Amino acid sequence: MVQIHVKLASEKGGYQEWAMIELQGTLETRNPIPFSGRFIGDLHFTHKDVPILIIGHHILYGKVVTLEKPYGILVKDAEVTDRAPGAGQTSYTIRAVIRKKLLFKTRPKPIIANVPKKV
Amino acid sequence: MEIVNKRTLDEIDSVLEFAKLGRDEIKSVTQSIYFSEQLDSEGIKLLELDTAVLTALENGERVIIRGDKEDSAVLCTESETFEVKLGEVSNALLIVPDMTLGSELTDTLLPSIQYQQVNSVMHTFYELRKMKPRLQKLRSLLEENPYAGQAAEGDVDHQGTKYTFNELLNLVQGSEREIKIALEKMQAIVIDGYWRVLDFDFLVQVMSHLLQLCDENSWLDQGIPIQECLSVLQDIFPRTVIEHVLKNFADKITPATGKDDDEKHMQIDIDYYRLNEDKVCRFFAEQILKHARKFNLSQFLSTWEKSVPDGMKTSVSQLEGIALIDRDSNPEVISYMTVDTLPEEISERFNHLFRIREKWSLPEITPYIKDLTTDKMDVTAMLTKSFKNTQYWFSSGNGLGDCFCNLKDFDAIVLI
């Protein structure tokens, strides 16, 4: 049987707290180009801490949700190889824990810029 | 990592203007979100952490995911077992390590920007659901080579694999604590570092020597002085085995706070055990039933009563979980059935039980399902849940208590 050891990051201060944005649907670009390095959008907060995300020509209002069960971020450890393949034990480290997420589930509102005033 | 073509405050402000969002409505800090140059959605996995699991991890407990080709994966802390399931979401989960929530933002006097990076986009996560450990395999592993005494170890019949605790951990999907409890429940014993179950016929031998010794010394009434008992029997059986059998069939007598001080002082150094009547009677019933499988009930009861040591009283209640009594047949019969060999999964268990018998009363079925109960689901809840769809639950109203039966048999039962 495979046994995978899971442990918490033991570096100074233990694991980190990360955050997460949940978007309804998926992000797509007009052209199939890699996402890496690309700008997504601006995140603002109102004075009442309501998150507002502006992506392209869309504005999204969201809310802060505390996760009932936090997510652990599992990262596979470098295998401790004893040279023999498969002899190394697979293990994972929980680098961070996510306890809160920004959930954007309402329909994005389009931003209409420079609407020409028609007569 | 540097972000090229960083977004400027001017750009942010012009978008705000288009969006008709006033600067006065929002906090001064804007977080501009980018995909990381090293965007890697394969490198990490999301694991939903049950509170118990997180606490275990924080306490430095060993947490292990165990799985093989046949079984689905489970996660075990030192004391609990969880089913691991892959969950999928249609939403995109963007992991932004350094993002700050509104309530934690420090307001700046003038508008400012923080650059944030998404390092992975996830659509799946692993869910954990607390489950009963899959321990049936434990029994079958130990039964590969039951212990039948030191002399028999060299026999051809006793060359099956023996397992150490660590080897069992590797093969059984359960936490350390759950496996230890199960080993104790199946009365397993460590011999030369291996966990073994006692061969039943061997146990019969040990018990008969033990009972004979008790009889000769009137220890049944007075209690068994453990050291004296061990020193007599150790010529025949290993001490650990005798101690183990005593532990399973006898209870340590707690010295009564006697009025007679002298007597108390005399006995203080000696540990006494008293045979447990229920356990011993049950053992004798098992001896009879194991070989016969099915038995005429009244014949069985009289044979059983005669077989037990003098002074012990048999009672049908001692048979709970090892025998089934069929009162509907003529004559009434009793058959051997233990819970250990039944399927571990709830619906499979019910299917199995209802193939054996069409209807069950609550007290009859309880011993055969109570091992599957959890904190959240007791026997009644489990029955009601399992019978909601395909089967029927009713109160018989004939003084026999509630009955559970298959819906297809409903017509037949109404006639009773």
Domain boundaries, chain A: 5-25+41-108
Q: CA B186, B187, B191, B193: dihedral to nearest 10 degrees?
A: 50
Tell me, yes or no, if B408 comes closer than 8 A to chain A by beta carbon.
Answer: no
Mean pLDDT of A41-60: 92
Which residues from chain A sit within 8 angstroms of residue B57, using beta carbons?
6-8, 94
Three-state secondary-structure class, residue B345:
coil
List the domain boundaries for chain B. Answer: 9-129, 136-196, 200-275, 293-414
Centroid of chain to Cα B238: 30
pLDDT at residue A84 greater than cutoff 60:
no
Which of A117 and B295 is assigned the larger pLDDT? B295
Contact A40 B96 (CB under 8 A): no
Q: In sequence order, which residues have a C-beta less than 8 Å from that of residue B183 and are 6 or more positions away?
A: B138, B195
Tell me, yes or no, if B7 comes closer than 8 A to chain A by beta carbon.
Answer: yes
ipTM score of the complex? 0.87
Which residues from chain A sit within 8 angstroms of residue B6, using beta carbons?
none
pLDDT at residue A28 greater than cutoff 90:
no
Give the β-pairing of B359-361 and B402-406.
Answer: antiparallel
Chains A, B: CB contacts under 8 A, how many? 196
pLDDT value of residue B83:
92
pLDDT in tens, chain B (416 residues): 555 668 899 999 988 988 888 888 999 999 999 999 888 888 899 999 999 999 999 998 999 998 766 668 899 999 999 999 999 998 999 999 999 998 888 878 889 999 999 999 999 999 999 988 888 889 999 999 999 998 889 888 888 999 999 999 888 989 999 999 999 999 999 999 999 999 999 999 999 999 999 999 988 888 899 899 999 999 999 999 999 999 999 998 876 555 555 555 555 567 889 999 999 999 999 999 988 778 899 999 999 999 999 889 999 999 988 999 988 888 999 999 988 888 888 888 888 888 888 778 888 888 898 888 887 888 888 877 776 544 444 444 344 445 555 544 433 333 22
pLDDT at residue A10 greater than cutoff 80:
no
> Which of left, alpha, beta for B185 (phi over 0: left; psi -120 to 50: alpha)?
alpha
Which residues from chain B sit within 8 angstroms of residue A42, using beta carbons?
7, 12, 15, 30-33
Residue closest to B149 by CA, chosen among B260, B237, B44, B70: B237
Query: A84 has which bridge partners?
Result: A82
pLDDT value of residue B220:
86
Contact B99, A22 (CB under 8 A): no
| Pairwise CA distance, residues B205 & B310, whole Å | 18
Instruction: Name the residue type at position B276.
Output: N
Contact B46 A50 (CB under 8 A): no
Global pTM value? 0.79
pLDDT at residue A63 greater than cutoff 90:
yes
Instruction: Name the residue type at position B141.
Output: L
